[in-house]
Structure 1
Amino acid sequence: MVRTVLFHELGGPEVLRLEETPIAEPGPGELLVRVDAIGLNRAEVLYRTGQYIEDVREFPGRLGSEAAGVVEAIGPAVTGFAVGDAVSVVPAFSMNDYAVYAERAVVPANAVVHRPEGLDAVGGAAVWMPYVTAYGAMVEAGGLRAGGTAVITAASSSVGLAAIRIANRVGAVPIATTRTPVKREALLEAGAAAVVVTEEEDLAGRVLELTGGRGADLAFDAVAGPAVVDLARALAPGGTLVLYGALSGEDTPFPPMPVMKGKSMRSYSLHEITTDPEGLRRAEAFVTSGLRTGVFHPTVDRVFPLAEIADAHRYLEAGAQIGKIVVTVDH
């Protein structure tokens, strides 16, 4: 038996329960992973509360799509892994089918990457979702390249911090946004060329000022809602607005045609790249290269033990973190 986080109804963090469940055996195309650390993501809050893009199929529900650990068993038709390999699980599946909030988890092998040498379990649970999300959206979907400028909203999140570093890695200029000045210095220390405090400054006007009137080539947006109009105004001709989150909780309009003329707007999901074997291969190579050279690194805000999973979710919902929240599993 293994300890597994379950929830028997939708609701707040208090619905999460740590219960004993049988250890499953990996089937074809699957691995059994001993979970040592779990990366928390906002998608899990939305799923737990019934606001995610898919509903909970049946109760008790399970959670989690990002973790780090060690391969303990290998299912039929799986190649490229051996028992004892240090690995990370990346979000590439429905939580109705697989979940990693547990001491051990069966996961699809195509959602598992080898953990680079020198990256511990906490780092391995904190690095992949942020960097693969930002890489896929900015480089693959948004076409960001050297000499470009990227506006990054919610920049103190783990994805936002990864986006800042990726923009710098490809030779682009990252402009970070944050609601209040509290996180300004942390964003500058993370590599932002400039920080726009949206409660105090006009976003579009400030970006145009910073770019000499040209505007940004890319806006990488986690917020959505009415503010997309300002982001569109901040874009240069030919620029792209990529939406990957909806933190505002409000409806997102398509900006007026005079604002959007010659520009494009698209949504982006991490699964676009993690469920594409070639896309994930490119992303893994890009991130591993950055880790090896020290340009990329995980940013962990706080670590909780598995027994405090409800408190970890409360902290996640409070939104005060800078970087990733990780839960560790004792064995």
Structure 2
Amino acid sequence: MARVVRFHEHGGPEVLRIEDVDVAMPGRGEIQIRVKALGLNRAEALIRSGSYIETPPLPSGLGLEAAGVVETVGEGVDGFAPGDAVSVVPPLSMVRWPAYGELATYPAELVVKHPSSLSWDRAAAVWMQYITAYGALIDIAKLRSEDFVVITAASSSVGLAAIQIANMVGATTIAVTRTFGKKQDLLAYGAGHVIASAEEDLGARLKEIAGPEGVRVVFDAVGGPSFEPLTAAMSRGGILIEYGGLSPEPTPFPLFAVLSKSLTLRGYLIHEIVRDPARLEAAKTFILDGLTSGSLQPVIARTFPFDQIVEAHRFLESNEQFGKIVVTV
């Protein structure tokens, strides 16, 4: 028996329950870990509320990120042994491979021996944010040192990861956040410029910073009306990569900006990296190198104990966090 978090109905954080369940042994090609820490993601709030891209049968587990110690190695798995310290790349399905529990099982190719310098909370805050940002900026956009890159929702864990990755290649980062409240923190964590979109003219500030050549890469989690000033400030042949939809307002299609500047607007999910073995290995190498050198340093917003998973989800939905929310087990 192990304690796991499940929900029996869709709803707010209060539907999450900690229950004692029998956890199956790992199958062929799988590894079971004893979880020490969990990284929380907005996708988990969405699946809990019934608005995620995956529809689970109920009751369901949830969770995409974990770090811990190898408990049991399934048949056909080499290179891992009980007691190894590991962290987990988010799987394609959190229903099939849920993280929220004392024991969690994953395909071996998603289990990584992370640098020993990482604490459990930081190890649980690595793979979702850094693979998401790496896939967009490095794998797809081929970000260069001479580029300007706009990063919206910049105080999120993915936003901060994107700033760090862009800085690794020498690009100029423009962090977009709603208000000036997080400006100094964003500058302290490496943002080259900060724009408060609710308190400044986004389009005017982008043109002021990037100049007449414009911004080649936009990494956006918001959508909504900001599409128009974002694309208006982009350079010819630029690319906007959309990985979220935080805005409750409709997202207009900026037809004339797209036509006149030959822009690429591209949807993106981490799944396209995770399901491609070659691209995933390249991502792991880049990220592990950054963690080892210190160029990539996970930012922890707040840590909660496992018994406070409901409170952790409430904080997740408050939008007050700066960085990653972690739950220790």
What TM bracket, shorter-length normalisation? over 0.9
Offset of residue 259 of structure 1: 4.5
Residue 91 of structure 2 aligns to a residue whose secondary structure is: coil
Offset of residue 260 of structure 1: 4.4
Distance 2:289 2:134 in 1: 13
Match in the other structure for 1:266: 266
Match in the other structure for 1:161: 160
Unaligned runs of at least 5 residues, structure 1: none
Shift of the 29–249 alpha-carbon distance from structure 1 to 2, 3 Å rule, reads farther
Match in the other structure for 2:202: 203
**Contact between 2:231 and 2:257, CA under 8 Å: does it hold in 1?**
no
Distance 1:92 1:273 in 2: 11
- Aligned identity (percent) is 52
Q: How does 1:49-128 map to 2 (within 5 A)?
A: 49-56=49-56, 58-128=57-127
Residue 31 of structure 2 aligns to a residue whose secondary structure is: strand
Offset of residue 290 of structure 1: 1.1
Q: How does 1:244-263 map to 2 (within 5 A)?
A: 244-261=243-260, 262-263=262-263
Match in the other structure for 2:241: 242
Match in the other structure for 1:303: 303
RMSD over aligned Cα atoms: 1.1
**Contact between 2:86 and 2:114, CA under 8 Å: does it hold in 1?**
yes
TM-score, length basis structure 1:
0.96
Match in the other structure for 2:174: 175
Distance 1:184 1:287 in 2: 26
Residue 124 of structure 2 aligns to a residue whose secondary structure is: helix
Offset of residue 279 of structure 1: 1.2
Question: 1:36 and 2:22 equivalent?
Answer: no
**Contact between 1:150 and 1:173, CA under 8 Å: does it hold in 2?**
yes
**Contact between 2:214 and 2:233, CA under 8 Å: does it hold in 1?**
yes
| More displaced stretch, 210-219 vs 74-83 | 74-83
| More displaced stretch, 60-69 vs 200-209 | 200-209
| Counterpart residue identity of residue 159, structure 1 | V
| Counterpart residue identity of residue 205, structure 1 | A
CA displacement, residues 85-128 of structure 1 (integer Å, 9 cap, x when unaligned)? 11111112212211010000111112211111211211100122
Alignment length, in residue pairs? 328
**Contact between 1:34 and 1:71, CA under 8 Å: does it hold in 2?**
yes
Distance 1:260 1:37 in 2: 47
Residue 100 of structure 2 aligns to a residue whose secondary structure is: coil
Shift of the 160–260 alpha-carbon distance from structure 1 to 2, 3 Å rule, reads farther
Match in the other structure for 2:225: 226
Offset of residue 276 of structure 1: 1.5
Unaligned runs of at least 5 residues, structure 2: none
Match in the other structure for 1:186: 185
| Counterpart residue identity of residue 294, structure 2 | G
CA displacement, residues 40-85 of structure 1 (integer Å, 9 cap, x when unaligned)? 00000000001111212x1111110101001111111222222211
**Contact between 1:93 and 1:111, CA under 8 Å: does it hold in 2?**
no
Distance 1:85 1:280 in 2: 21
Residue 219 of structure 2 aligns to a residue whose secondary structure is: strand
Distance 1:275 1:113 in 2: 16
Residue 126 of structure 1 aligns to a residue whose secondary structure is: coil
Question: 1:15 and 2:1 equivalent?
Answer: no
Distance 1:274 1:82 in 2: 23
Offset of residue 212 of structure 1: 1.9
| Counterpart residue identity of residue 143, structure 1 | K
Match in the other structure for 1:284: 284
**Contact between 1:179 and 1:197, CA under 8 Å: does it hold in 2?**
yes
Match in the other structure for 1:135: 134
| Counterpart residue identity of residue 246, structure 2 | L
| Counterpart residue identity of residue 236, structure 1 | S
Offset of residue 269 of structure 1: 0.4
Residue 72 of structure 1 aligns to a residue whose secondary structure is: strand
Distance 1:145 1:208 in 2: 19
CA displacement, residues 181-201 of structure 1 (integer Å, 9 cap, x when unaligned)? 100000111111110111122
**Contact between 2:28 and 2:76, CA under 8 Å: does it hold in 1?**
yes
Distance 2:259 2:230 in 1: 10
Structure 1 residue ranges (4+ consecutive) displaced by more than 2 angstroms after TM superposition:
249-254, 257-261
**Contact between 1:115 and 1:124, CA under 8 Å: does it hold in 2?**
yes
